Structures are given as C-alpha cells and as structure tokens.
Amino acid sequence: MKFLNKTFLIALTALSSLSTYAQDETLEAAVKAPVEEAAAPTFAISGSVDSYFRSNEYAPYTAFANLNGFAIGMANVVMSYEGEKSGFVADLVYGPRGNDAVFGSTVGSSPLVNQLYVYYNLSDSFTLTLGNFNTFLGYEVISPVANFNYSTSYMFSYGPFSHTGVKADIAITEDVSLMLAVMNETDATEFQDNTDADNVFGAQLGLFGQYINFISGGFANQTQIDFTGGFNISDNFFFGVNATSYTSDNGDFSGVAVYPQYTFSDSFALGVRFESFTDDSYGALGTYVNGSAVGIGSGSSKEDNTSFTLTGSYTSGNFIFKPEFRMDKASSKFLFDGSDTDSLSSFIIAAIYSF
C-alpha cells in the first residue's frame, strides 16, 4: 500500500512539473512572438523613355507617334508615396507625346503634369482621390509601356485623356466595384473662367474584370458610354475588347475594337488591333503629314474608318522593342498619302525603356 502511494505521489509530481514546463514554454513563445506593426510608408520612383522611327511621312489622324523619320516620344517620371491611410502620385511628362497628352493644361507648369493627385483610404474598401488623374474610359492609356500597340486607336485619341476633380472608389465585393466622380471639363486641368465652367460627372461599374464607364456634362453637353474588358482564353491567349459611343453638341463618334494577343515566350508576344470607327461630324478622321493635320478637320459629314494594326513586342529586362504595321481603310477619300486616298499604310519601329 505504501508502495502504491509513493508511486502515485511520484507520478503526480512529474505531471505537475510537466504542466509547469509547458506553461513556461507557452509564455516564452508568446513573449518572443513578433508584434504586428503597420506597414512602413514607401516612396517610389518609376517611369519610362520611348523613341521611334516611322518609315513614311503619312500617319493616321490619331494621338502620338505621328512624326516621320526618327522621332522621340516622351520621358515619363512617376513619383509616388504610400502611407498607412494616404498617399500621392506625381506623374511628370516631357516630349512630343507628353505635350499631346496634356494639351488641356495651360496654367503655370501644368503642361509637364500628366497626373497629380492625393488619396485617402477611409477604409479597406473606400478610397477618396482629389486632383488630376488619367481617364478611366477606354482600353488604351497614355504610357507606351502599358499599351500593347504603340500607335493608338481613334476611340482612345478622341475620348478623354485625363480629368481633374474628386472621385470615390468603392470595392463592393472582390469582383464588383463602383467609382463615382465630379470633375472639370474633360482634359482641362484647370478652369480658365469659372463663371462659364460646367462640371462633368463620371461613373464606372466593374464586374468580374469588365468595366462599364460613363461621363456626362461639360460645355458641349457631352455624354460617353464605354465598355472596356478582356478575357484570358488560355494561359497564352488574351482577347481584349473596347466599345464606345460619344454624343455632344460638337458632333458624335462611336467605335468598337478587339485586341487579340498571343504570348509565345517570356520575351515575345504578338498582338493585333481591329478597330471600326464612325465619325459623325466630329472631325476626328484625317491624316498627319509631317506632324501637321490634313483631312476633315472641322468635321462636316459622317465617315467610317477601319484599321488593322499588327504589333510585335520583344522584351529583354526593362527594354521593350516594338515593330508595328498599320493599315487604315476609309469610307471615302479623306486620307492622304501624296494625294487623296481611301487607304493608308504606315510602319513604325519603337524602343521603350521602363524603370
């Protein structure tokens, strides 16, 4: 009996020691566990430089890459600061492409500013932005790094490039988002005469990576509805889509474009843009000759243009090489290649460096 009691006492003591040791280990682990801290604010600088060669002096009347021979695009420097709740973006451009991108800026140093805005995250799903920001309409953008094709479409060229105002971005779910905005006149960084200025209202609805965009207002009573989206048909094959309809007191235009792109390797991809564009007295169709506009100009009739653009994209590190062939076919002879014509071909070789 004494042996059993002694054995029981030894077992109880060992169990108690083991429990105390386990508690000490848990306490020590808790003390050593790292304390979660807010992410440190970050400051970043990025951007790009691009240049190109156009083999012929005639180019379609679209934005950028319109000079013949050897030409420069722009130097783009983007400075950004991201804090726990707020941050800013200062996007500066210099060169012919940059000048074309900010044509609506006329005060002080504004022609150098592509974007300049401050944002505040009210929550993980609600962000307010105030300042000048690139447009949310359309498939294409100003930066040659983010566009697959080097030349740009008619829809992009005559839709807005940028807006100045306030916008609210709301993430409703992981796949559904909403943006609402009140802005200055389209592409006007600042109002020249506030007594005559009219605001433009904007909205964007995002659904599973597809976007329906809308703007309305301004001195010309403009309204534009735009769809931008795309689908990954396979790991290597992407199919982008853009459609837009614009109406105003100054004329109307509409169009649709598709962007099939196939990635052959980590360094090479091939993409095509098919665009059908209708100009109804807006004055968008015509030709650039040595950088000067020739064609409809003021806009006086309804005309159609169909374009086919084939672009190769070779990437090596931060360097991008883009050879491109483009053909435009018009509904009448409002294009020009030495004489009036209804078709126009152009070839470009572009070099882009991003950092």
Domains and CATH numbers, the chain: 45-354 (2.40.160.10)
d(CA 227, CA 210) in angstroms, rounded, equals 8
The model's pTM: 0.84
d(CA 65, CA 97) in angstroms, rounded, equals 7
Q: If we measure between CA atoms, which residue out of 224, 226, 196 comes closest to residue 211?
A: 226
DSSP H or E stretch at residue 21: helix 2-32
Q: pLDDT, tens digit, for every residue of 269-311? A: 999 999 999 999 898 998 988 778 886 654 567 899 999 999 9
pLDDT of residue 135: 97
pLDDT of residue 193: 53
pLDDT at residue 188 is higher than 60:
yes
Q: pLDDT, tens digit, for every residue of 42-67? A: 999 999 999 999 998 899 999 999 99
d(CA 344, CA 324) in angstroms, rounded, equals 14
Q: pLDDT, tens digit, for every residue of 194-213? A: 555 689 999 999 999 999 99
SS (H, E, C) 37-97: CCCCCEEEEEEEEEEEEECCCEEECCCCCCCCEEEEEEEEEEEEEECCCEEEEEEEEECHH
| Exposed/middle/buried for residue 208 (C-beta within 10 Å: 0-12, 13-18, 19+) | exposed
Q: Confidence band (pLDDT; 50, 70, 90) for 344?
A: very high
d(CA 126, CA 294) in angstroms, rounded, equals 46
Asked if 59 contacts 292 with a C-beta cutoff of 8 angstroms, the reply is no
Q: How far is CA 114 from CA 78, 92, 226, 274, in A?
A: 9, 5, 22, 28
pLDDT of residue 334: 85
Instruction: Give per-residue burial for 254-290: e unless 16+ CB within 10 Å, then b.
Output: bbbbbbbbebeeeeebebebebbbbbbbbbbbbbbbe
pLDDT of residue 110: 59
CA 25 to chain centre: 53
Q: If we measure between CA atoms, which residue out of 273, 202, 287, 215 comes closest to residue 247?
A: 215
d(CA 321, CA 270) in angstroms, rounded, equals 12
pLDDT of residue 105: 73
d(CA 280, CA 265) in angstroms, rounded, equals 42
d(CA 224, CA 306) in angstroms, rounded, equals 21
Contacts with 184 (C-beta within 8 Å, 6 or more apart), sequence order: 163, 164, 165, 190, 191, 197, 199, 200
| Exposed/middle/buried for residue 107 (C-beta within 10 Å: 0-12, 13-18, 19+) | exposed
Asked if 248 contacts 221 with a C-beta cutoff of 8 angstroms, the reply is yes
**3-class SS at 110?**
helix
CA 304 to chain centre: 26
Q: What is the DSSP letter of 8?
A: H
Asked if 51 contacts 72 with a C-beta cutoff of 8 angstroms, the reply is yes
> Angle at the Cα of 311 (from 306 to 316), degrees rounded to 5?
160
Q: pLDDT, tens digit, for every residue of 94-125? A: 999 998 898 877 665 556 899 999 999 999 99
